[in-house]
Amino acid sequence: MIHSFNLQDLLFLVRSAGWTLVLTLVATAVGGALALVISVARLSTHTALREATRLYIVVVQGIPVLMVLFLSYYGLAHAGLDLPPIVAASLALSIYVSAYLGDIWRGAIQSVHRQQWEASASLALTRMEQYRYVILPQSVRIALPPTVGFLVQLVKNTSIVSIVSVIELTRAGQLVNNTTFEPFKVFVTVAVIYLIICYPMSRLSRYLEEKSRVYRDR
Amino acid sequence: MSIVTVDNVRKRFGDNEVLKGVSMQVEAGQVVALLGRSGSGKSTLLRCLNGLEVIDEGRIEVAGHAMDYETSRLRELRKDVGIVFQSYNLFPHLSVAQNIMLAPGLVKGVDKSRGRALAAKVLDRIGLLDKLDAYPDNLSGGQQQRVAIARALAMEPRVMLFDEVTSALDPELTEEVLAVIEQLARDGMTMLLVTHEMNFARRVADTIVFMHEGKIWESGEPEAMFTRPQTREFEQFASRNVK
């Protein structure tokens, strides 16, 4: 039934934006935890661990997220594991996040001076203690701006899960448009909602970048 | 009894042999100055003594620990061997007190209040008690280096290694760091120093070790060595470096 874009539709869009946020948060949490393991494994003294994680990053970064999504939804279903769309979507996005943040954080860890490792090792700290108390606190400062920048990308990239019929913001926009045929109104509204989510994050990223530059110049 | 034993140690970086069979012994309470041109292997030898460099051949024993690169045994050795670097290497995100307390807290289980008392004690010893809560960024190079010495001392090491610790400092700041080291010498700390401060070495060291092309070329008591050099190389080195 065709009707014009109304308050109901707007509320539907806002509710669906909730799923966009949920997907972003889950992918950030799960993918972030994985990324921490990956970044440390990338710098491990074990060659196999180092190479395996390097390969993982190359592969995941080298294929469209859409393929990861198809594989975790249609692929796993074909293999007998029938995941609900929202779970498959979260899985795919988490994998995507883990490869990118894993690489960003690896770089941040490596940018801490080698002498910090030597000084802390000479004080008889274990490798875990070196990471926990000396290296990671210094890497966080370096990693924060690009991490927030990447998460802004992630918010927008969650839109691809509309393909496997998860109703997040983009998919909701399509549905509303199908019943209103007012694409300008609908998609401008959708765009504005994305902007409202992303703009503060972009600002935060820029602020953090400036702050870390001040720190370096001091 | 010697507290440091180095026995026929060889170390290569790729094709470049940096230590070509080095042997030496250091008695407890002795101060040994390692001299030599850059590239002579003196810094590498020092870094081998706490396992920062892995030797290819030979044997090292420090403070009763035979050198063993298995991680837990290497840590045992490092509890007894402190090192101070040319570039200070304080942890920039931690205050002076936290820099000093970190390792005793983690490695020896010293709790916060005792750790702070310990930090105050070692800072007092180097004359920087008022910098307890300062951050490394806000200290001069000389002060940072003294804090680095205090940080090593807080582990109560039996041997201290100093790797060109004044090379990055102005002459004025060099003096304040050397004064701290000289005080440690008087307190009976066993120390090995790689240094370019010839006069300081001559005054404070019990033994001078002159390294040349990866070998110990000449060694002995400072006065005897500087007044009657045994080798042309040391004679040249000394005449060029003593002002």
Residues A20-66: tens digit of each pLDDT: 999 999 999 999 999 999 999 999 999 999 999 999 999 999 999 99
The domain ranges of chain B are 27-54+68-80+159-243, 90-156
Give me A181's structure tokens.
Answer: 């045929």
The per-residue pLDDT for A59 is 96
CATH assignment of B27-54+68-80+159-243, given 3.40.50.300, 3.40.50.720, 3.20.20.10, 3.40.50.2300? 3.40.50.300
The per-residue pLDDT for A102 is 97
Of A121, A125, A138, the CB nearest to B106: A125
The per-residue pLDDT for A2 is 79
Kindly report the length of chain A: 218
* Dihedral pair phi/psi, residue B65, rounded to 5°: -105, 120
The per-residue pLDDT for B139 is 95
Q: Residue B14 in contact with residue B174, Cβ under 8 Å? A: no
Up-side HSE of residue A141: CA atoms within 13 Å toward CB?
Answer: 15
Count of pairs with CB atoms under 8 A, one residue in A, one in B: 56
What is the average pLDDT across A80-101? 94
Of B78, B82, B91, the CB nearest to A116: B91
pLDDT surpassing 90 at residue A67: yes
Of A127, A133, A141, the CB nearest to B102: A133
| Coil, helix or strand at residue B180 | helix
Non-local (6+) Cβ contacts of B63 within 8 A are B3, B4, B77, B80, B81, B157, B158, B159
Per-residue confidence of chain B (243 residues) as pLDDT tens digits? Answer: 799 999 999 999 999 999 999 999 999 999 999 999 988 999 999 999 999 999 999 999 999 999 999 999 999 999 999 999 999 999 999 999 999 999 999 999 999 999 999 999 999 989 999 999 999 999 999 999 999 999 999 999 999 999 999 999 998 899 999 999 999 999 999 999 999 999 999 999 999 999 999 999 999 999 999 999 999 999 999 888 765
Going by C-alpha positions, the residue among B44, B42, B88 that lies closest to residue B195 is B42
pLDDT surpassing 60 at residue A16: yes
pLDDT tier, A205 (very low <50, low <70, confident <90, very high otherwise):
confident
Most B CBs within 10 Å: which of A115, A116, A123, A136, as the mutation test of the B interface?
Answer: A123
Q: Residue A161 in contact with residue A93, Cβ under 8 Å? A: yes
- A115 inside 8 A of chain B by CB: yes
pLDDT surpassing 50 at residue A217: no
Beta strand pairing status for B159-163 and B190-194?
parallel
The per-residue pLDDT for A213 is 61
Q: Residue B220 in contact with residue B207, Cβ under 8 Å? A: yes
8-state DSSP, B138: G
Q: ipTM of this predicted complex?
A: 0.93
Question: How many whole angstroms separate alpha carbon B68 and alpha carbon B112?
Answer: 32
The per-residue pLDDT for A218 is 40
Query: Which helix (H) or strand (E) segment is B190 a member of?
Result: strand B190-194
The per-residue pLDDT for B242 is 64
Which residue segments constitute the domains of chain A, with CATH numbers given? 7-217 (1.10.3720.10)
The per-residue pLDDT for A3 is 86
Question: How many whole angstroms separate alpha carbon A169 and alpha carbon A23?
Answer: 11
Question: How many whole angstroms separate alpha carbon B63 and alpha carbon B155?
Answer: 14
| Coil, helix or strand at residue A152 | helix
